[in-house]
Structure 1
Amino acid sequence: MRIIVSGGGTGGHIYPALAVVEDLLKQEPDSKVLYVGSKRGLESSIVPKQNIEFIPLEIQGFKRSLSLDNFKTVHLFLKSVRQAKKIIKEFKPDLVLGTGGYVSGAVVYAAARLKVPTMIHEQNSVVGLTNKFLSRFVDEIGIGFQDAAAQFPAEKVVFTGNPRAQQVANIHSDFSWTQFDLKDDVSTVLIFGGSQGAPKINQAVSEAINDFNDKDYQVVFVTGKKRYDSVLEKLRGQRISPNIAILPYIDNMPQVLPKVDLMVGRSGATSIAEITALGIPAILIPSPYVTADHQTKNTMSLVNAGAAEMIKEDDLTGQSLYLAVNTLMSDDVKRDQMAANSAKLGVPDAADRVLDAARSINR
C-alpha cells in the first residue's frame, strides 16, 4: 500500500497516526509511507525520528475571536491545499489518512478533490473542527469513542478505537521501578499531568506529600520538565519518604504503564486509549482548557463504565486528591473491578480496525 498520513499539532493526533503506520509496515513491509505535517507542530520533530519520510507545510489555526490573522490562516490553508495536491499527484497514494489538526484539513481535503480514497480518524468524544469540516468530503470515518458517532454522517462511521491502544497493548515491558529507587513488589500510583505538567495537579500533589509519606504503596509524581524545579522549590524543607519519587518526565511511558496500579492524570484521548488497553484503574482530572470540554466527556465514558473516578479541577485540592487515591489504594477489590471494567473498554486491535476500514473503501 502507498499511504499519505497527516495529523499534527499535538501528540493526540500524531501518535495514533504513527501507530497505524507501524501496524501497516508489520502487515505489509513493502508499503510506502509519507507523512505530511506542519512546520511548527510537534510532528516536525517526532516523525522524522521514526525514519518516516516527512514533508512540512506552513499552516495555522483559526482564532476563535475576530482577528485579521484569520485572513492569513485562509491564505495559508489555500496555499497548503495547492501544495498538498502537488504532493499527492507525485506520490500517487492508494489512501490518504488524516488524524486531526489543521494540517490534515488541507491534505485530506486536497485528496478528496483529487478523488483519492480518504479516511479520517477522530480520537475524542467531541469532534474537532477539522474533522467536522472533512466529514463531508471523506469516504470513511473512524472513531475512538462511540459518543462521536452522532456528530458525523452515519453511513461513513466505523468504530475502531484509538490506534495507540494497539501499540501499547503489544509492548512487552521489562521496566523496573528500581531505576527510580523504588520497589517492584509494591503497588504503585502514577500521577502525571502531561508532558508540560499541570500546575493545579502539581499544586495538589505538593500539598498532599506529607499524607503520602510512608504509605504501604509507592507514589510516582511526574511534574513536567518545565515545572520540575519550581515543584522542588515548593517542597524544599519537607520530608520526602522513600516510597515517593518525584520526576520531571517519563519518556518511555508505554514501558512504564504495565507496572502501574493506579493512574492519576488528565483524560486526553491518547491517555485513555493507553489505560484502557492495559486495564488500569484511574482517577481522571479533565483539563477545563480544551475545546468543548471534551476531556470531561472522555472521562465520563470511563466513569459511567465503572473504570475510573473523576475529580473536577475546581474541586482539586491536596486533601481531595489524597482521599481519592488513598481510598482506592486501600481497596484492592474495587481496584480490580475498575481494572476489569477498563479492559472491557480497550480496543487492542484498533490499528488493525483502522486499516481494515481503509481497505474497504471502494470508488
Structure 2
Amino acid sequence: MVKKIVFTGGGSAGHVTPNLALIDRLKDQWEITYIGSKNGIEKDLVQAHGITYRAISSGKLRRYFDMKNFKDPFKVLAGVMQAYLILKKIRPDVIFSKGGFVSVPVVIGGWLNRIPVYIHESDITPGLANRIAVRFATKLFVTFEEAAATLSKDKVVYTGAPIRDALFEGKKEKGLQFLGFQVNKPVLLIMGGSLGAKKINEEVRASLTELLKNYQIVHLCGKGNVDPELEGTQGYRQYEYVDQELPDVMASASIILSRAGSNAIFEFLALKKPMILVPLPLRTSRGDQILNAESFKKKGFCEVLDNDSLTAEELQKTIAEVYRNRYDYIDRMVAAQGATHGIKNILEQITK
C-alpha cells in the first residue's frame, strides 16, 4: 500500500521551499497532499509542482493590537475543523509542517485525528505559530544546534537544514553566460529577499562605481526595485528575482551579500559561499535574523553588518576583506557540511 503524507506551511517562501525539497524526494513513492491557505504564496508554488492542494481558512496570530484579532480566532477555529475533516478523509501516515500561521490548524487537526505530526523550525528561536503547534506535535526538528539546547528535549531532534537538490545542480559557466559576465573577474551576488532590502539596495548603488572596479555584480533587488537608470551598466545586472536560473547564478558567485533568513544562509553554507549578512533590524522583525547571523559569525562563516548604521564605505571595506580571506571562510564551511544534510536526516525520522 502506498504511504500518504500531508505537508503544510505558508505565508512566505521560506515556509514552502524546504517542503518542496522534501516533496521532490518523496513524490515517486508517496501519495502527497498539501494543505495551505486560500490565497497564500504557498498555493502557486505547490501547484506549480503538480501536487494536490487543499485550502483552509487561516487567521494571523499577532503579538500586537489589531481589530482583526477579534475575527481571526474564529478563522483559526474554522481552519481546525476544515483540516480535521480533510485529514480524516485522507488518513495520511504522517504530517510534516514547516510553520507559518496556516500550519497551526493542520497540526491541531492532525493531533485530533491521532496522526503523527512532525514540525521543522528554521530559526534559533521558534516563531509564534510553531510555539503553539509544538504542543500538538510528535517531534520538532531544528536547523540550528543552539535551538536544541533551549527547547523540550523529549521532542527536539537536531536535523540541520533541508537543502533542495536543484541547488547543487547549478553550473558556474551557465550562470556567467546567463549574466553576460566575464570568466576572469569575481562575481558579487546581492540578495535582499522577494521584497528586496531597501537599505542594502541604497548602499550597494551608492558604492556601485567603486565595487565595479573589482567585481561583476548581480543584484536581486526585489519586486519593483529595479533602477531603470542603471540598466546597461557594464558588469552590473539587476533583477527583481531569478527563478530557474538561480542555481547557476549562485554557482557563479564568489561571495554573497544578503539578509540573514535561515533557509538562504544555509544554502550559502551548503554551496560554500563566503557571505556578508545584513539581518533585519529588531524594529521590523522578531530578531530571528540577528540571531541567525550571530550564530554564523561565531562559527566563522560570515561577517555581519548592522542595517541601520550601514554605510557605503563600510560595505565596500567588508566586501573587500571577505573576498581577500575567502578561502578561510570556505575551509570552515567545508568542516560544517553536516549542518546541510537536513533532507536525509528528516526523511530518516518521518519514513521509519
TM-score bracket, normalised by the shorter chain, equals over 0.9
Measure the CA separation in 2 of the matches of 1:345 and 1:133: 31
- Give, in angstroms, the shift of residue 298 of structure 1: 0.4
- Count of residues paired in the alignment: 346
Checking the alignment, whether the CA contact within 8 Å between 1:166 and 1:350 is kept in structure 2 is no
Mark the runs of 5 or more structure 1 residues left unpaired by the alignment. none
Residue 260 of structure 2 is aligned with which of 267, 281, 290?
267
Measure the CA separation in 2 of the matches of 1:181 and 1:171: 20
Aligned equivalent of 1:53: 52
**CA deviation map 1:51-90 (0-9, x unaligned):** 0100111212123223331121110111111000111011
Question: Does 2:16 match 1:18?
Answer: no
Question: Does 2:231 match 1:232?
Answer: no
The amino acid across from 1:24 in the alignment is: L
Aligned equivalent of 1:171: 169
Q: Which 4+ stretches in 1 moved above 4 angstroms?
A: none
- Give, in angstroms, the shift of residue 193 of structure 1: 0.9
Residue 306 of structure 2 is aligned with which of 309, 312, 328?
312
Checking the alignment, whether the CA contact within 8 Å between 2:161 and 2:341 is kept in structure 1 is no
Question: Does 2:4 match 1:2?
Answer: yes
**CA deviation map 1:119-141 (0-9, x unaligned):** 00001112111111121221111
SS at match of 2:135: coil
Name the structure, 1 or 2, with higher relative contact order (CA <8 Å, separation 6+).
1
Aligned equivalent of 1:97: 96
- Give, in angstroms, the shift of residue 290 of structure 1: 5.1
Aligned equivalent of 1:147: 146
TM-score (norm 2): 0.93
- Give, in angstroms, the shift of residue 151 of structure 1: 3.8
Measure the CA separation in 2 of the matches of 1:199 and 1:342: 29
- Give, in angstroms, the shift of residue 168 of structure 1: 4.9
Aligned equivalent of 1:220: 218
Alignment of 1:30-109 (within 5 A): 30-109=29-108
- Give, in angstroms, the shift of residue 169 of structure 1: 5.2
- Give, in angstroms, the shift of residue 172 of structure 1: 4.6
Checking the alignment, whether the CA contact within 8 Å between 1:36 and 1:56 is kept in structure 2 is yes
RMSD value, Cα: 1.9
Measure the CA separation in 1 of the matches of 2:180 and 2:107: 48
The amino acid across from 1:296 in the alignment is: I
- Give, in angstroms, the shift of residue 247 of structure 1: 2.9
Measure the CA separation in 2 of the matches of 1:131 and 1:3: 19
Mark the runs of 5 or more structure 2 residues left unpaired by the alignment. none
Pair 1:193–1:130, CA change in 2 (3 A): same
Deviates more, 1:97-106 or 1:316-325: 316-325
The amino acid across from 2:7 in the alignment is: V
Aligned equivalent of 1:250: 242
Query: Identity over aligned residues, as a percent?
Result: 29
Pair 1:57–1:290, CA change in 2 (3 A): farther
- Give, in angstroms, the shift of residue 344 of structure 1: 3.2
- Give, in angstroms, the shift of residue 170 of structure 1: 3.8
